[in-house]
A = this chain, B = another copy of it.
Amino acid sequence: MDKLPFLKTAESEKTTHLEFFNIALSVDCVIFGYEEKQLKVLLIKSDLEEYEGLWSLIGDLVKPTENLEDAPYRVLQSRAGLQHVFLEQVHTFGTVNRHPSGRVITTAYYSLVDINHYKLQKTENELHWHSTSSIKKLAFDHTLILNTCINRLRLQIMEQPLVYNLLPQKFSLRQLQDLYEAILGVELDRRNFRKRMMLKDWLVDLNEMEEDVPHRPGKLYRFRTGLKTVETTVSRKSHEPVNV
């Protein structure tokens, strides 16, 4: 984007301003959690008449003085009390009629949070965790946004150890496998899963065992610190080659 005509013709500013600025920009956060062997997503009751009784993602308008990339952190902080979470931009949705109250374009982010670490307040009774597998209909185009984010999540957990956000510090390989199965929606072979995880070199053997389980206890692991994470935008010079 180069020209901003409305800034050059002061006298016609009002008209042009309204013409071009008659769009609002929001962010919507797909906040994933994990509980009872299910991938969950945090939703809020829609307060729009058009969507009465439906749930929607958590979002807000981007402020004029706020970096786009900061907006989802603010939303998570102010709407759900979440801080220092993992956030990744996924896609921007901008069909003309996606919002019944006006023209709103939204940028979707997904986030991974530890449900147990984040306790829902009783007062926040419009906020609820929903199992992703039981979600039928959401307000707006939020089903599309959710599915797009699930898709991205599924691709990314195969490449990067992001799921540390969803587990306690210490966990067994069985817990990790259950989590992967919940996210991917498939059953995995135990021996092959363990082999793959060991090959990735993401885990540290704690030399501790599970306790209070009604069966043979498993070994406990944690994620290695300092593992590299997603980097979507790249400041690398474009002529530098990649490894293939």
How many copies, total? 2
Are B62 and A94 within 8 A (Cβ)? yes
A172 in contact (CB, < 8 A) = no
Q: Which B residue sits closest to A59, measured CB to CB?
A: B1
Interface size class of A (residues with CB under 8 A): 35 or more
Docked-complex contact A238 and B89, CB < 8 angstroms: no
Q: Which residues of B contact A67 (CB under 8 A)?
A: 94-96
Contact B91 A233 (CB under 8 A): yes
Q: Which residue of B lies closest to A186 (CB)?
A: B241
Residues of B contacting A62 in the complex (Cβ-Cβ under 8 angstroms): 23, 94, 105
For the complex, give the distance between the alpha carbons of A93 and B67 in Å: 9
- Comparing A114-122, A142-150, A162-170, A204-212, the segment that makes contact with chain B is A142-150
Bound together, the chains give a CA A150 to CA B135 distance in angstroms of 36
Beyond A2-B58, A4-B102, 11 extra complex contacts between A and B, CB < 8 Å: A4-B61, A4-B104, A19-B64, A20-B61, A23-B25, A67-B96, A132-B238, A144-B235, A184-B241, A185-B241, A186-B243
